Structure 1
């Protein structure tokens, strides 16, 4: 068994705490274990000798496992009979009242959320979406049966799961689904007594508008988010960042720099952890990388290239997750292509393509498309043309 599989110590709904399995019903546990191993649905289906559709049905809770399938899953993960025991507890484990009375279960799902976010940042949406949806369903089933503080905690946790599920939908290239989950996060957050998610939802809408090329809508949503009564420094910092990038796309450098200063000011107000924490952690945002990205959108390629180079020399300044690394690497390559350093740009993209293929991120593919647009007009050799063509095909998805 992987060390990660034996480290999760919280019990799932309707059964005693297990030293081996993460919390959740059979489908949630199955999807979480599969994500930890980095197995695709196809790979896992091959290992347990069932169809891909059956794995999807098991993970989403549509079907219960037969004893034979549960045993095959148990053998694949080496969980020593724990999955067979969990499957025997019945469809979706327990009554909702069991969930709401078990504080450690809520804490367990919070830990799973953090774990799934780590996986999503490194591998993209395909390994985590089924788990996110299954756990969200459990929480929303439990919410109406809870009372007092537990009721608020469950709805708030459901809101956090929905918000990240929306982000994964966006990363998967489905903005309509992203907005649907974001709206659910707003509703459930309000039921949990937190209106800040309504403000952050406007930031998400700004980001979606930005990636479809509508800079005016992105700025408008960012300004609405910043002015929302429930906006806190975290959300205002996110909003200022989106506004800066929107102004850059419009070519308004003055407004862009003003928004960048607002971002830095709001980011400085963020002290420690603020829960719930909507969106990426502001303290992990590098203002100089964000400025470099804005210079790129303003087509000030030399300034952007210099800023990117300076930050990449300070390796500790680059975010650790694969998604951010790929995104900023492609932006650096685009800036280098803009100043005629196509050879350097292609070297960066060639080194980054395996990561881009692995995470399969729609937002990174947008950045790759921008690189292709900048590199195409350059005088390129055969090897560079082949790389540009490969990048173009990957950008289309």
Structure 2
């Protein structure tokens, strides 16, 4: 099979472009591109995406990196397993003592009260690290499961459904704590609860949690497989939209421009239905703070595929609509804005955006945010001589390399 450099040279030759022509369109120097073409330097995903988009290769150059390729900067989420608080691991120990049965109707106020607690924990997670909420959320799963064993149907089903929502939230926080093992364990717990109560929607969201873990492990193929499975699990329009958007992200990560755009189009078609609006408004799963998740996902995909100008417009417009108090959501998507700006060679804008992110990043303790910041370190390194970059790069590098708090 041809090397990446050989394919790049062939596509450039078909366009009859010089190295300077390609450099002008990708913002990589002719000398750097020459080394890549001659296999003297390994291409980054960002370079491959920029060249793919500029040359109209429709994912062929990205695919040349190899389906199983992992950058030395890609996050190994399993490497720090156990960094999440031990109390966050699912277990059946230390369950509270309860009466033999709960009286009829007693579960309803419990479900209402603990739903409010979950909403509060989700809000807290937007401004604090996962350690601030993990222990409390895991304890609620244990309590709800215990109460369900002492409650008659259908109240037991309501308790276990809420336990499933809590378990999915704990899986997310374990992922943010850079503890893949616990995140996968909690996703399995979520799926088990979903099957017990007969809720395909909860099970689909457990699978989507696993797909996000795959996405941040830079595994496009696994992301596609899991997102496709999640879409097949449920009839919920809201969850199907989220699955299709994740499917598009997986295809973008794999360099498949055509399938990525097809999945995005399918999601937009489904968005036209009124049932999605009702499901999204409930806020049980997925983001509550991104006004248009479909537009944000399209921007994310375009940036990964190297269409930086179009991505920058979409991402920056949607990031501005995120409430100021949603620090975690805003920081994550502002980093994508910075990556797109660097792709267009707008270094000053990227640095200004990253300065805003760095004001809140230390308190968030977010593994997914650190992964994206490592992408920024790679992109910023191309502009080391720029005064703003020289000042900012060491700070971004320190934040990107922080370990999750114990």
Q: What TM-score does the superposition give when structure 2 sets the normalisation length?
A: 0.70
Q: Provide the rounded CA distance (Å) in 1 between the counterparts of 2:288 and 2:311.
A: 23
The equivalent position to 2:298 in structure 1, one of 287, 291, 294, is 291
Aligned position for 1:271:
277
Q: How far is the alpha carbon of 1:190 from its aligned partner?
A: 2.2
Larger RCO, structures 1/2 (Cα 8 Å, 6+ apart): 2
Contact 1:225 1:231 in 2 (8 A): no
Q: Which string of whole-angstrom CA distances, capped at 9 and with x for unpartnered residues, describes residues 166-193 of structure 1?
A: 1111111112211111111111122223
Q: How far is the alpha carbon of 1:320 from its aligned partner?
A: 5.8
Q: How far is the alpha carbon of 1:307 from its aligned partner?
A: 2.6
SS of residue matched to 2:335? helix
Q: Which string of whole-angstrom CA distances, capped at 9 and with x for unpartnered residues, describes residues 286-330 of structure 1?
A: 332222111110112222223334445xx4366862122101111
Q: Where do 1:317-328 residues align within 5 Å? A: 321-328=326-333
Where has structure 1 moved over 6 Å in runs of 4 or more? none
Q: How far is the alpha carbon of 1:265 from its aligned partner?
A: 2.3
Say whether residues 1:253 and 2:257 are aligned partners: yes
Aligned position for 2:52:
none
Q: How far is the alpha carbon of 1:128 from its aligned partner?
A: 0.8
Aligned position for 1:352:
357
SS of residue matched to 1:116? helix
SS of residue matched to 1:145? coil
Aligned position for 1:375:
380
Q: Where do 1:77-96 residues align within 5 Å? A: 92=96, 95=99
Contact 2:145 2:160 in 1 (8 A): yes
Q: Provide the rounded CA distance (Å) in 2 between the counterparts of 1:93 and 1:178.
A: 28
Change (3 A) 1:147 1:258: same
Q: Provide the rounded CA distance (Å) in 1 between the counterparts of 2:168 and 2:317.
A: 34
SS of residue matched to 1:148? coil
Where does the alignment leave 5 or more consecutive residues of structure 1 unmatched? Answer: 1-54, 65-90
Q: Answer with 274-283 or 213-222: which moved more.
A: 274-283
Aligned position for 1:151:
156
Say whether residues 1:111 and 2:155 are aligned partners: no
- Root-mean-square deviation (CA, aligned residues, Å) is 3.0
Say whether residues 1:333 and 2:338 are aligned partners: yes
The equivalent position to 2:315 in structure 1, one of 291, 295, 308, is 308
Change (3 A) 1:283 1:369: closer
Aligned position for 1:28:
none
Q: Which string of whole-angstrom CA distances, capped at 9 and with x for unpartnered residues, describes residues 20-49 of structure 1?
A: xxxxxxxxxxxxxxxxxxxxxxxxxxxxxx
Aligned position for 1:179:
184
Aligned position for 2:42:
none
SS of residue matched to 2:306? coil
Where does the alignment leave 5 or more consecutive residues of structure 2 unmatched? Answer: 1-84
